[in-house]
């Protein structure tokens, strides 16, 4: 059977690969180049291999372009997610500022209401004091009127007695006149007696006119006292009506104050819920990185220590402050204090998140070596790897994964060309094996700012960037930070 197969192969070779000659003619001379079966088979195999390699290369290029397109789409999604996150952060910050402005406006309105209430209380106290003085003046006027009435009565009784005495004197005068003797001496005596009686009568009449004048004066004083009592009574009535109006206004202000407090309480509760949700998300992101959250927050809080408070100079402002001291045990103020603490924590967490390197330093990559113990590519022994190797296309752009200050640039032993960035809070990132460095030491870099080009410098077996995240001098697993970044940029 093997001989038959051999015969078939020989016949096929003779049929498809017969001996061929190529005629070459130059300057009238003719030459021949002969190609035997083996040469033709070898050339055919070489052509087939070339076509296969060409097809394989085309397929590889197509697949690589497809992978690059998918990576570009993924990068575009990440950039869009990052932009949406920034928009959400700006919206949250805008809502926070708006809520803070509303709270400040409500506090100002509340302060105005409390000041108005204090002013109304002072006006009410002054009116009550004036009303008390008016009542005392009215009582004094009534007592004075009673005294004038009693004095007038005494004067009227004295006037009656004087009139009675005058009538008696007139009667005695008439009797004396009737009893006059016709004698001259008696007439003179009677004349003198009559003159004395007339003089006494004139004196009595003058006293009577004086008593009438006194009675008229007393009557005028009594009328003025009655007018004063009437005015005081009118002032008392107006004071009562003003007091009632003030009580009604105070009631309206108290109801308005209760409505403002209820609206503020609802607003504070809504802010509480949103702030707690945002705080939970931010804490989850930090926990995914493996960092000590409390240590980071302590460092943020130490950087944000501040003092302040209102300047109280006038009596009214001190009274207003006293109103708040009296109310500081209310649930509203305790809720506001708790909200202030939660907002401070949310602000501190945002400050931490701004400094976390949670994005990859290159756009398109594959992890060629992970963090931790691995087989060294040169010694083939187990060794600790303090970062991750991100393989990609040579001269790909390398970006800063978080804002910070460049602390080292240049050649650093096995790292090759290295860039180190300090992000604050004890966080640093390192980018090794670069082809070219595009920043300088001491330069401030922003998030996603280009700092170098991917290369193969230093102790490296191929094009990649060695990426490290260091916290307080200890290397951490950068994959946890990238995982936290995926959580942030999700959706």
What's the burial of 336, exposed, middle or buried (CB within 10 Å: 0-12/13-18/19+)? middle
Q: What is the mean pLDDT of the chain?
A: 77
329 φ/ψ angles, rounded to the nearest 5 degrees: -90, 5
- In the chain, DSSP finds a helix count (H) and a strand count (E) of 7, 15
Domain range annotation of the chain: 2-64, 89-306+314-355, 361-488
User: Looking at 326-449, which runs of residues are DSSP E strands?
Assistant: 366-369, 372-375, 382-385, 388-391, 397-399, 404-411, 417-424, 427-432, 434-437, 444-445
CATH class of 89-306+314-355: mainly alpha
325 confidence band (pLDDT: 50, 70, 90) = very low
Specify the range with the lowest mean pLDDT, choosing from 103-112, 430-439, 467-476.
103-112
The Cα–Cα gap between 296 and 188 comes to 135
What's the burial of 104, exposed, middle or buried (CB within 10 Å: 0-12/13-18/19+)? exposed
187 φ/ψ angles, rounded to the nearest 5 degrees: -65, -40
Q: What is the pLDDT of residue 26?
A: 73
Query: How would you classify residue 31: left for phi > 0, otherwise alpha for psi between -120 and 50, otherwise beta?
Result: beta
Residues 171-225 have pLDDT tens digits of 765 665 565 555 456 666 666 766 776 676 677 667 667 666 766 776 676 677 6
CATH class of 361-488: mainly beta
> Between residues 325 and 280, which one has the greater pLDDT?
280
Give me the mean pLDDT over the 237-253 stretch.
Answer: 75
On whether the CB atoms of residues 408 and 441 are closer than 8 A, the answer is yes
Q: What is the pLDDT of residue 467?
A: 94
Q: What is the pLDDT of residue 3?
A: 67
pLDDT surpassing 50 at residue 312? no
- Enter the DSSP assignment of 459: S
Residues 31-80 have pLDDT tens digits of 777 777 778 788 888 889 999 999 988 888 888 888 888 777 877 777 77
Show Cβ contacts of residue 444 under 8 Å, excluding neighbours closer than 6 positions: 403, 404, 405, 406
- Enter the DSSP assignment of 413: G
pLDDT surpassing 90 at residue 379? no
436 confidence band (pLDDT: 50, 70, 90) = very high
Q: Minimal CA–CA distance to 93: which of 305, 345, 350? A: 350
């Amino acid at each position: 059977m093997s001989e038959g197969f051999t015969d078939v192969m020989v016949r096929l070779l003779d049929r498809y690969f017969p001996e061929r000659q190529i005629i070459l003619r130059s300057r009238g001379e003719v030459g021949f180049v002969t190609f035997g079966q083996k040469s033709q088979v070898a050339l055919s195999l070489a052509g087939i291999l070339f076509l296969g390699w060409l097809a394989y290369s085309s397929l590889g290029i197509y697949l690589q372009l497809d992978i690059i397109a998918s990576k570009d789409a993924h990068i575009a999604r990440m950039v869009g997610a990052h932009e949406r996150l920034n928009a959400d952060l700006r919206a949250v910050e805008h809502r926070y500022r708006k809520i803070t402005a509303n709270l400040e406006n409500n506090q100002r309105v509340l302060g105005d209401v409390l000041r108005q209430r204090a002013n109304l209380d002072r006006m009410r106290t002054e009116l009550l004091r004036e009303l008390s003085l008016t009542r005392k003046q009215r009582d004094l006027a009534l007592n004075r009127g009673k005294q004038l009435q009693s004095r007038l009565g005494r004067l009227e009784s004295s006037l009656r007695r004087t009139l009675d005495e005058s009538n008696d004197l007139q009667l005695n005068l008439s009797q004396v006149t009737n009893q006059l003797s016709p004698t001259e001496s008696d007439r003179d005596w009677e004349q003198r007696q009559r003159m004395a009686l007339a003089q006494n009568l004139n004196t009595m009449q003058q006293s009577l006119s004086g008593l009438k004048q006194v009675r008229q004066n007393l009557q005028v004083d009594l009328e003025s006292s009655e007018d004063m009592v009437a005015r005081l009574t009118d002032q008392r009535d107006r004071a009562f009506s003003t007091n009632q109006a003030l009580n009604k206004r105070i009631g309206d202000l108290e109801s308005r104050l209760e409505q403002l407090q209820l609206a503020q309480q609802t607003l504070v509760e809504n802010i509480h819920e949103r702030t707690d949700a945002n705080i939970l998300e931010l804490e989850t992101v930090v926990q995914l990185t493996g960092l000590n959250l409390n240590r980071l927050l302590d460092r943020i809080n130490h950087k944000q220590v501040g003092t302040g408070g209102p300047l109280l100079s006038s009596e009214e402002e001190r009274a207003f402050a006293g109103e708040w001291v009296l109310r500081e045990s209310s649930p509203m103020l305790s809720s506001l204090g708790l909200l202030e603490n939660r907002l401070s924590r949310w602000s501190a967490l945002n400050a931490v998140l701004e400094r976390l390197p949670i994005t990859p330093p290159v756009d398109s990559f594959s992890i060629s070596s992970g963090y931790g113990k691995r087989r060294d590519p040169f010694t083939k022994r187990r060794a600790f790897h303090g970062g991750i190797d991100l393989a990609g296309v040579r001269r790909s752009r390398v970006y800063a994964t978080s804002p910070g200050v460049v602390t080292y640039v240049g050649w650093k032993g096995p790292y090759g060309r290295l860039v180190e960035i300090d992000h604050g809070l004890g966080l640093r990132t390192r980018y090794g094996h670069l082809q070219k460095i595009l920043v300088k030491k001491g330069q401030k870099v922003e998030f996603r700012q280009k700092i170098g080009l991917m290369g193969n410098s230093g102790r490296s077996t191929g094009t990649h960037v060695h990426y490290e995240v260091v916290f307080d001098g200890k290397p951490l697993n950068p994959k946890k930070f990238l995982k936290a970044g995926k959580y942030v940029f999700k959706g």
